[in-house]
Amino acid sequence: MAQTTAPGAAQEELNPFKIAQRQFETAADYLNLDESTRQVLKNAKRQLVVSIPVRMDGGEVRVFEGYRVQHNIARGPAKGGIRFHPSVTLDEVKALASWMTWKCATVGIPYGGGKGGVICDPKSMSKGELERLTRRYAFEIAPIIGPDRDIPAPDVYTDEQTMAWIMDTISMVHGHTELGVVTGKPIALGGSQGRGEATARGCLYAVREACRVRGISLRDARVAIHGFGNAGANFARLVSAEDGARVVAIADSRAGVYNENGIGVQSALRHKAETGTIEGLANAAPIPRDEVLEVDCDILLPAALENSITLANVGRVRAPIIAELANGPVTPDSDRVLFDRGVFLIPDILANAGGVTVSYYEWVQDQYSYFWTEDRVRETLEQTMRDSFASVYATAERYRTDMRTGAYILAVGRVAEATRVRGIFP
């Protein structure tokens, strides 16, 4: 169990699944849920652990461990990404699956929560090795996924090519093309316009609403982004180009950079594409990557992995608005510290829900073989995110609590009602 100690503070629980259950219990207390309902909603419906033998380029066979967890399907099929990462654990995947349940309920789309992961280091593997790993993993989880069962999508270190391999593998197993078995696919294989930037764009719409509530202008606002993968990089591009914000700090997995006058986002994107990192970016001072969380800014985007802001560093976080572009980057104890200081935090189950929302649009398009324009995707996403923000904000105000708790009260209540009216079989 991962733990850390802040000066003068007790040990903090950092197990992601225990954190997810704690967040659920907080909402369940507000809703006065009975113990039976709590037991059903806080436990995963299905957990699959698979061994994945892969022939490496050198001829040897390595066996990787992979997971697929379906947390809840009361409101529809499970939905959630697949991550390839050396630190993937079953508890992490269980937490991510449960967060997906609440995320889908927060934005009102008819899915439950699922998640998958493989313990591997994709940065050290060739494209051929990654393809063989992906296809064998897809084959192993094939019995429990499908357009009406569980629909995977990209996540950390997976992308549209990964999804194309999974779609093709499942299609070969079934003997016919299954466009809707995954989302986040290439356009040529039934992907949706706007899916690649959907997580970032959805977050931008939520940040605009938060700025409106707080009376802050995004134009020339100072933005720091901790994590420069697909979501973080797209957010930097969008918020600077469309809203005139200044991106003053960026961190990726290897380095951090800072310029109080603003980093040239297009230059940063080119440098990252050419070198694989933002390290050495011109016209920006190098700083330790985790210090990006602590720079003086107006809006902070934790966009990397879980537990980025803990009791160990929350006292040094200075942003008045935080939008969780990653899943679970702020611990519950840090939540309380930030709320008491008046920080406005947009929780992950709202802030990064743009990805699963447009995944839903893609799934709908695949089901009907009728595809939308990018303008329609963006307009529909903006309306969904604005409506969802308003619902979460109203719930938080009604219960006189923070935005995360407001989102959980809203989401857990919706899933609890679906569970109640469906009943328990047999």
Active site residues: 115
> Which DSSP string do the residues of 276-325 spell out, in sequence order?
SSSTT-TTSEEE-GGGGGGSS-SEEEE-SSS-SB-TTTGGG---SEEE--
Are 103 and 348 within 8 A, CB to CB?
yes
Task: Please state, in angstroms and as integers, the Cα–Cα distance from residue 272 to each residue in 80, 251, 253, 280, 295, following that order.
Answer: 27, 11, 11, 10, 21
Judge whether 65 and 51 are in contact, CB under 8 Å: yes
Hey, how many other C-beta atoms are within 10 angstroms of the C-beta on 344? 20
User: Whole-angstrom distance between the N-terminal and C-terminal Cα of the chain?
Assistant: 37
Cβ pair 419, 41 in contact under 8 A: yes
C-beta separation of 234 from 199 below 8 A:
yes
Q: Which of 133, 144, 186, 181 is nearest to 164 (CA)?
A: 186
Burial of 304 (0-12, 13-18, 19+ CB in 10 A): buried
Indicate the SS3 state at residue 64: strand
**In this structure, are strands 78-85 and 112-119 parallel, antiparallel, or unpaired?**
parallel
Amino acid, res. 220: D
Check: CB of residue 278 under 8 Å from CB of residue 255: yes
Two tokens at 127?
A: 């494209």
